[in-house]
Amino acid sequence: MIYVNGLQFLPDSSSGHDMVIALLDHPDLVSASRLFCAIPERKFSSSVEAKCVYLFQREYATVNPALVEIVGTDEATTCVGMVIRNCRTGMTCVAHLDSPDVVVVGLFQMMSLVSDRDDDDLLDVHIVGAFEDSDPHGECEEGYSLPLCIKIVEKLAESRYKFEIKNFQVLKHNTRRDSEGIAYPIFHGLAVETSRGSVIPASFDASTRGPDDIIRRIRLNASFEDPRRAGRLLDTYETHTDRFVITPFSWSERLVNFARIMRYRSDPEILFSTSTSPYAEGSDYVKNQKRVWDYLIRHPNWKQVFPSKLARIFERVGNTSWVMISET
């Protein structure tokens, strides 16, 4: 069930598309969007002394406010950063949703540690990202953002849980256009201050996206070839131990060969062949793609990275650093 400002959201139509439009036009959510847009984007780096958990594309994590101060994600264009927070316990889950295919199981994964009751808690929800990327002359005429938002809203409405949507910063609320009419997202990321539950626009530099960022980026690419991971978000963070645990996964020779081919492509070719929104990507998008391909070329055998097929485990050192306690 969906609530807005304490009242159950009862749209005139049960169509997912119509519900998205109704939420975009809801006066309380229009006001919330204006307030969110007025908040300066906070840039997180290692100089910010806060215990942070960062999520890459298709990852999710549930954090305990007693252990983590900031949880967030960025690098979103047609993706959505979604927050579900239990105001009673403070338990907060953030996911970086990149496709309608991961919404059904992904929502179940997100809820597993957020609510310890069946359906009594009113859960705060913030949805940020996805812009008006539709292209009537492109391969995906309706774009990638709208189908994702529709799926999210449909599943929230169908759920027995009570979801209070606090911010619906998507589509027209998250779109700006340049002088030529090309659309770009206003915000690429968000951060949750776990003690208060406040959600702010945010970006994260390389020093705050760890640990094991290259391996986690490779895992995203490898997950598309792994039927066991189909329709699922990627689980990396252990809530109760405040550790990152990257379980073993393999990558194919096909993925390594793709890396060997792509490293010789020009930056525009890389953008237009790998991104759903080539005009909207961040300045480090191509650089990060090349880092992943260079690593795959240097480590074509995944068993080199996961000796004995055991997990790579990282524990926090101080507030901003991580140390691997096991290479296996």
Check residue 35 and give its pLDDT.
97
The CATH number, out of the four listed (3.30.1330.200, 3.30.420.40, 1.10.150.120, 1.10.15.40), of the domain defined by the range 2-326: 3.30.1330.200
Check residue 318 and give its pLDDT.
84
Check residue 46 and give its pLDDT.
80
> Consecutive 10-residue runs of the chain (328 residues): their mean pLDDT?
95 93 98 97 87 97 97 97 95 97 96 79 94 72 92 96 97 95 95 97 92 96 89 95 95 96 94 94 94 97 92 91 78
SS (H, E, C) the chain: CEEECCEECCCCCCCHHHHHHHHHCCHHHHHHHHHHHCCCCEEECCCCCCCEEEECCCEEEEECCCCCCEEEECCCCCCEEEEEEECCCCCEEEEEECCHHHHHHHHHHHHCCCCCCCCCCEEEEEEEEEECCCCCCCCCCCCCHHHHHHHHHHHHHHCCCEEEEEEEEEEHHHEEECCCCCEEECCCCEEEECCCCEEEEEEECHHHCCCCHHHHHHHHHHHCCCHHHCCCCEECEECCCCEEEECCCCCCHHHHHHHHHHCCCCHHHHHHHHCCCCCCCCCCHHHHHHHHHHHHHHCCCHHHCCHHHCCEEEEEECCCEEEEEECC
Q: Where are the domains of the chain?
A: 2-326
Check residue 320 and give its pLDDT.
79
